[in-house]
Structure 1
């Protein structure tokens, strides 16, 4: 078998990641390789080089599948410098 990774939004707007064993192992391997020197990897349909291959077939009717994406490693020191707003506590304004 080959790795199978499917990213989709369900009817409730929740992100779901569907994986077989090889897909799980590949995704975890790529996540573990992230560092300041290797700060991202791509999620792309099969056939592209240096990526986690994604599947375009939804598991359920009505799900919205994402075949393209990018995972970015963001150390706190980088976010403090470039995107400090993401480190602020959430507001209690309700919305």
Structure 2
């Protein structure tokens, strides 16, 4: 079966990530590939790093069709975004 990943905000305002086994494996593979030299990947409904579904599970879900996962080293954030560190 093809990877299926659905991202949404439900009616309670909560983020949800729906995955079939192939979608889980793809997402984990992309997460494990993140590094200093490969610091992000894209999520979108068109062919991309990680393709996401445009079919909501519920009629009142707000789909999130475009996103980016960013890998951050503490040294980078200390320099560029120090307010996010403790």
TM-score, normalisation: structure 1: 0.87
3-state SS of paired residue (1:11): coil
Question: CA offsets, 1:31-79, max 9 Å, x none?
Answer: 0000000000000114x24x10100111012110011110000111100
Match of 2:62 in 1: 64
- How large is the RMSD of aligned CA atoms in angstroms? 0.9
Quote how far apart the aligned CAs of 1:10 are: 0.5
Structure 2: distance between partners of 1:77 and 1:6:
32
**Residues 1:38 and 2:38 are matched in the alignment:** yes
Match of 1:7 in 2: 7
Structure 2 residues not aligned, in runs of 5+: none
User: Rg bigger for which structure?
Assistant: 1
TM-score, normalisation: structure 2: 0.95
Match of 1:82 in 2: 80
3-state SS of paired residue (1:13): coil
Structure 1 residues not aligned, in runs of 5+: 89-95
